[in-house]
Amino acid sequence: MAFIQIDKDICTGCQECSGVCPVYAIEGNPHEAQTIVTERCVMCGQCVQKCKSYISLLDHGLEEYTKKRQERGLPDTVTEPLFAAYNVSHLNAVIAALQDPKKFTMVQAAPAVRVGIAEDFGLPLGTLAAGKLAAALRRLGFDQVYDTNFAADLTIMEEGTELVKRVTEKGVLPMFTSCCPGWVRYMEHQYPELTKHLSSCKSPQQMAGAVFKTYGAKLNGFDPASLFTVSVMPCTCKAFESDREEMRDSGYKDVDAVITTRELAYLIKRAGIDFTALPEESFDQPLGDYTGAGTIFGVTGGVMEAAIRTAYTLITGKELSDKEVDILPVRGTEGFRTADIPLGDLTLKVGVLTNLKHIDPVIEQLRRGTLHLHFVEVMTCPEGCVSGGGQPKLLLDADRPAAYENRRKATFDHDKALPLRKSHTNPAITQLYQDFLEKPNGKLSHKLLHTKYKRG
């Protein structure tokens, strides 16, 4: 299914979308409707963010506007302009589940959502709204309000252990992160012979879904068949990821529906909730506990930094001090950067790549055997998940740098403000292994939290 589409009735052929597509999947002549080449598209949604061609209630009338809104499955409370490039919505499935008394609904929200959602309610760019986000999800009627940050911490336990094993046991190196579904799809389609370099870890979203329908079902005393799990993501490719046939290791579809940050704003407005007036609330426990390491997954270099904070302990048996926990060499913005990180007697050689437009030279080094790194983080979008295709739409290009900078700063400020900043110090993660998973990279965790990649 094509999760990103361009409406030919609306597209004016300005070609701004093709200019931001990181994989050159949009084709067409100037001033004519553009076409997405599905086989190349990684569904990152940057075209959705950039698109300027629209239909509006004011300019085009109620009948034409209503028709397009209904075609996209959007609530009738949506009155904003509808742009030519858009992501396929699953809002109707979420609304139906929330209204079904037989369904027990669990929701998770990704790290980048909390620094984006408030923008759709008139608050300044990059406002941190973690507490209001939890409160809004609860007011919408979700039975359990959990946090993808928890699963980000879980990902680090699995991915960090996998990395240390590859490094110390001469496994396939460099190991690339696998939490960005657009990047994984690109690797599978363009370089299937190199997928052995991808970490076998599922993304935090999918790890959370698998845990919700096993451990979470047990905690809440529910039959997993009655659970409906929803993810709120800054990413338009996450719906594709949740539909993959590999993502059913709980015995069910691990994540039933995915909505974007923008679509969550639609739901909140539909329910008549005054987001700005909401109190600060916490996510439900224990699957809502998280550390600063889980939080920084939303920015470029964040996965790498979180992994290093834990890898240091796995390799040395010691803890990074509060002064050492900020791994500044891996932070940055768009492009490709490398760093040497001392971990005791080992010097970990790492790379961080943001915006898939920069990936091909790195892949060429990998194919030639000259990419002398242990671990590489790859994010498809310009500055990581904070700039994802599902984030609030930035109508003015001039706002883009400030939005990305403010969202990034809010993320790091949140990390610093948290009492725990390393994934392996999360007590809820420790409890999950004690009660259920046993150990990182163990038999059960491999079944639920890891996967294999297609080769073609």
Report pLDDT digits (tens) over 241-253.
999 999 999 999 9
Same domain, yes or no: 155 and 244: yes
Same domain, yes or no: 257 and 327: yes
**75 assigned to some structural domain:** yes
Residue 39 pLDDT: 93
> Mean of the pLDDT values across residues 359-363?
97
Same domain, yes or no: 59 and 172: no
Residue type, 371: L
pLDDT at 87 over 90: yes
CB atoms within 10 A of CB 242: 24
Same domain, yes or no: 68 and 204: no
**236 assigned to some structural domain:** yes
> Mean of the pLDDT values across residues 38-59?
95
| Cα 230 → chain centroid | 13
Which residues carry out catalysis? 159, 162, 179, 199, 238, 241, 246, 385
**250 assigned to some structural domain:** yes
φ, ψ for residue 425 (rounded to 5)?
A: -95, 0
CATH code assigned at 82? 3.30.70.20
CB atoms within 10 A of CB 192: 13
**104 assigned to some structural domain:** no
pLDDT at 456 over 60: no
The domain of 173 spans 144-449
| Final residue before a domain boundary, out of 45, 69, 87 | 87
**175 assigned to some structural domain:** yes
Q: What is the pLDDT of residues 259-314, one digit of tens each?
A: 999 999 999 999 999 999 999 999 999 999 999 999 999 999 999 999 999 999 99
Residue 455 pLDDT: 56
Residue 58 pLDDT: 86
**373 assigned to some structural domain:** yes
pLDDT at 20 over 50: yes
Q: What is the pLDDT of residues 195-217, one digit of tens each?
A: 999 999 999 999 999 999 999 99
**131 assigned to some structural domain:** no
Q: What is the pLDDT of residues 125-164, one digit of tens each?
A: 999 999 999 999 999 999 999 999 999 999 999 999 999 9
Same domain, yes or no: 166 and 75: no
Residue type, 61: G
Long-range contacts of 92-97 (CB under 8 A, 24+ apart): 93/256, 93/257, 94/230, 94/257, 94/259, 94/267, 95/267, 97/228, 97/230, 97/256, 97/257
pLDDT at 1 over 70: no
| Final residue before a domain boundary, out of 87, 115, 136 | 87
Same domain, yes or no: 158 and 272: yes
Residue pair 260/232 in contact (Cβ under 8 Å)? The answer is yes
CATH code assigned at 421? 3.40.950.10
Q: What percent of the chain stands above pLDDT 70? A: 99
Residue 437 pLDDT: 97
Q: Write the CB contacts of 190 (distance below 8 Å, at least 6 apart in sequence).
A: 363
> Mean of the pLDDT values across residues 411-434?
97
Same domain, yes or no: 296 and 437: yes
Where residue 30 falls among pLDDT bands split at 50, 70, 90?
Answer: very high
Same domain, yes or no: 299 and 419: yes
Same domain, yes or no: 200 and 345: yes
Residue 59 pLDDT: 86
Q: CA-CA distance, 263 to 259, in Å (whole number)?
A: 6
Same domain, yes or no: 65 and 162: no
Same domain, yes or no: 180 and 265: yes
User: Could you give the number of structural domains in the chain?
Assistant: 2
Q: What is the pLDDT of residues 171-189, one digit of tens each?
A: 999 999 999 999 999 999 9
**400 assigned to some structural domain:** yes
| Final residue before a domain boundary, out of 43, 66, 87 | 87
Average pLDDT, the chain: 96
Same domain, yes or no: 270 and 358: yes
